[in-house]
Structure 1
Amino acid sequence: MSPVSHGTSESRGEDRPLLRFEPHLPYSYEDLWSALTTAQGLRRWLGEAEVLERHLDGAVTLRPLDGGPAASGRVTAWDVERVVEYTLGGLGRVRFHLEPVGTDSTVIRFLNEREGPGTDTPGVLADWHQHFELLEAALTDPAAAWTEARRAELRESYARPLTRRA
């Protein structure tokens, strides 16, 4: 699995972190669009889409790979092969903006705007980081799987810089 660059977070007010990732993946935007917007694609790297209405204001319910509770919400942006955004209870606004680079690679400009007290920002960054690693792997290796060991390793790497600033 090739490395995914560390994500960042910024505060948008009390208990409102905005998380960002910009993975540059060696796949066409068509391949990535399918992975981001179909039940079969999402299942391989993010979670089981129990409900997925693929249009603006469609219903969506995702059950994460780590076995956590399902999150339900709406499709709040839909620009075919360019932008998809899900707004989900407990996860907030999750936006994927695809930008092709040539014909065989794509940058995903990712945002996750969360709300609520007690957000474990290093843990959420670690979760998204591992999900992006799985996305890259899922396009070539169907055996790629979520592991708690990898999540713990990533969480530690995200917590370390935050601790030094305190």
Structure 2
Amino acid sequence: MSGSIAQGTSRRHGNTHIIHLLVRLPRPMGEVWPAVATRAGIEEWFTAVDVLEPRLDGLVTLRGLGTGRVTAWDVDRVAEYTVEGGGRVRFHLERDGETASVLRFTHEFRGEGESEASWRARFERLIEILGSSQA
């Protein structure tokens, strides 16, 4: 199975912008989790990480987004980072058969910020990385 970005929406509610993407990934959840929940994984496809305490209420600093807290943490399933100025970034993993995963992604922020196109480009990179790691 190859990965794909199956669907996405980008909406505004006043000054709040919400991007949702559904990303199909060619690896099981246990192999995708490090890409969204570890410093090395995030840096490989998304952004530099100055601080990441992998636990609920842990500190996080994502370069280009800001500094904040881990606001949701369910090991192997949900990692959510809420950073000052950068909003809330949520990665929710689900099983898609035995060898693949679905990532339900949300980025909610105020004012101007990331675009749906920039997130799509990042997820294309993640799909490429995960696909190349197949044996």
Query: How much does 1:129 deviate?
Result: 0.6
RMSD of equivalent CA atoms: 1.9
What corresponds to 1:101 in structure 2? 96
Q: What is the count of residue pairs matched by the alignment?
A: 132
- Equivalence for 1:84: 79
- Partner of 1:161 in structure 2? none
The structure with the greater share of residues assigned to helix is 1
1:54 deviates by 0.3
For 1:24-103, what aligned pairs fall within 5 Å after superposition? 24-63=24-63, 69=64, 71-103=66-98
* Alpha-carbon contact 2:3-2:23 (below 8 Å) kept: no
- Paired letter, 2:32: L
| Contact map agreement 1:22 1:108 (CA 8 A) in 2 | yes
Structure 2 residue runs of 5 or longer lacking an equivalent are none
The answer to whether 1:131 aligns with 2:122 is yes
Distance in 2 of aligned mates of 1:52 and 1:93: 15
Shift of 1:40: 0.9
Q: Could you give the per-residue CA deviations for residues 2-40 of structure 1, whole angstroms, max 9, x where no partner exists?
A: 6534521122x2111111000111111011101101111
Higher strand content, 1 or 2: 2
CA distance in 1, matches of 2:104, 2:7: 13
AA partner of residue 62 (structure 1): L
Q: Which runs of 5+ in 1 are unaligned?
A: 64-68, 143-166
TM normalised by structure 1 equals 0.73
Larger relative contact order (C-alpha < 8 A, sep ≥ 6)? 2
Contact residue 95 and residue 101 of structure 2 kept, 8 A: yes
Confirm or deny: 8 A CA contact 1:7 1:129 kept in the other structure. Answer: no
State the distance in 2 between where 1:24 and 1:94 align: 18
Q: Tell me the TM-score normalised to structure 2 length.
A: 0.88
Q: Sequence identity, in percent?
A: 41
Q: Partners of 1:50 and 1:8 in 2: how far apart?
A: 29
Counterpart contact for 1:28–1:104, Cα < 8 Å? yes
